[in-house]
């Protein structure tokens, strides 16, 4: 919840700087680089697990299937995330109260599974995963 509030604040600041600078994107970047330099760099900002999985699948030519979501009577969501590697399906599941949180957890689990498989088997290329 706090992440959404923080992103709203940053978005508002960027919009204000953009308006005040006469829609000059270079000015916005210059201001935000100074503002975020101590906080956010390519090394310190984590990649979203679903994006990391998507990029991994693109890089190694794995088939990344669309996640399956199943709701129960209490509005909990079970998400199944699946990739196909050399004709073999590898899936992980996670429960959550929202589909996005369940998907994120399932992606983290699948990334870890792929990392372990890549280290134990010639079936997969050696994969370096940040999550």
pLDDT score recorded for residue 131: 47
Q: What is the mean pLDDT of residues 43-69?
A: 90
Q: Which pLDDT band holds residue 65 (cuts at 50, 70, 90)?
A: very high
CATH of domain 49-120: 3.30.160.20
Among the listed ranges 1-5, 14-18, 57-61, 122-126, which one has the minimum average pLDDT value? 122-126
Specify whether the CB–CB gap between 17 and 28 falls below 8 A. Answer: yes
Give the span between the Cα atoms of 129 and 131, in whole angstroms.
6
**Residue-averaged pLDDT of the chain:** 85
Give the span between the Cα atoms of 129 and 81, in whole angstroms.
17
Residues 6+ apart with CB under 8 A from 85: 60, 62, 114, 123, 124
Percentage of residues in the chain having pLDDT higher than 90: 52
pLDDT score recorded for residue 7: 82
Give the span between the Cα atoms of 109 and 101, in whole angstroms.
12
pLDDT score recorded for residue 33: 85
Is the pLDDT confidence value at 111 over 70? yes
pTM score = 0.63
The CA R_g of the chain, rounded to the nearest whole Å, is: 19
Domains of the chain, by residue range, sit at 2-36, 49-120
Is the pLDDT confidence value at 119 over 70? no
């Amino acid at each position: 919840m706090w992440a959404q509030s923080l992103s709203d604040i940053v978005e508002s600041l960027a919009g204000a700087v953009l308006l005040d600078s006469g829609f000059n994107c270079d000015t916005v970047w210059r201001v935000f680089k100074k503002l975020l330099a101590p906080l956010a760099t390519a090394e310190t900002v984590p990649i979203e697990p679903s994006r990391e999985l998507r990029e991994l699948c693109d890089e190694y030519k794995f088939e990344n299937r669309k996640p399956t979501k199943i709701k129960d009577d209490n509005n909990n969501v079970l998400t199944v995330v699946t990739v196909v590697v050399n004709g073999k399906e590898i899936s992980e599941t996670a429960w959550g109260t929202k589909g996005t949180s369940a998907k994120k957890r399932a992606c983290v689990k699948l990334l870890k599974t792929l990392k372990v498989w890549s280290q134990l088997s010639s079936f997969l290329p050696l994969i370096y995963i940040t999550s």
